[in-house]
Amino acid sequence: MPWDRPAYQDLQVAAAGLQLTSSETLTVHYHAHVDVLVYGSAVPVPAELGINVGPNDTAPPHGSAGIAPLHTHDETGVVHIEAPASATFTLGQVFTEWGVELATGQVGNYRTGDAAGDRVQVYVNGHEVTTDPNAIVLHAHDEIAVVVSNPAHPNPSVPSSYSFPAGE
């Protein structure tokens, strides 16, 4: 780990049920924040999820260049929702663009109840969500934490908010 950004973002975006456009559209514009904590250590959410470009913004390795209405620009965990029309965007779409499995009690290859005694929990604004994490709807300034812990690495302090830069 970390889980890298898949090169074929056009395929990941399509799998998330989204479409690439040639430029950002700001009719709908807000941000949420995602933290992934494995045994107390932060796992970076990759830059350019939902953006089909190659290294250093060169031509993409697959498909046409473009940007999805749900994307990241950097590794801060800020998820940008910049869409041409109102729609529902979910945590599951973020993880699909990332190519990381997310399910109740699972993130990547970590599963609640495995041999290591792992526990996978998801929190929204500091409150645990026990339903399917893929269905968590992203709202402006949500702080979402996906946390893996076990007896040797107890659950860390779970963030309940994120300090978004002014204007975000």
pLDDT value of residue 148: 97
What CATH number does the domain containing 78 carry? Answer: 2.170.130.30
Instruction: Say whether 10 sits in a helix, a strand or coil.
Output: helix
CA atoms lying within 13 Å on the CB side of residue 61: 9
- Distance separating alpha carbons of residues 40 and 154, to the nearest angstrom: 8
Total domains in the fold of the chain: 1
Look at residue 161 and tell me if it is in a domain.
no
Percent share of the chain, pLDDT over 70: 99
pTM of the model: 0.95
Domain that holds residue 136: 9-149
Look at residue 156 and tell me if it is in a domain.
no
Look at residue 82 and tell me if it is in a domain.
yes
Question: What type of residue is 64?
Answer: S
Predicted confidence (pLDDT) per residue in 29-42, tens digit: 999 999 999 999 99
- Distance separating alpha carbons of residues 1 and 50, to the nearest angstrom: 20
Reported as a pLDDT band with limits 50, 70 and 90, residue 163 is very high
Residue whose pair of structure tokens reads 């395929």 in the numeric block: 11
Alpha helices in the chain (DSSP H): 9-15, 91-98
Structure-token pair, residue 71: 């994307």
Q: Is the pLDDT of residue 56 over 90?
A: no
Residues 79/34, Cβ–Cβ less than 8 Å: yes
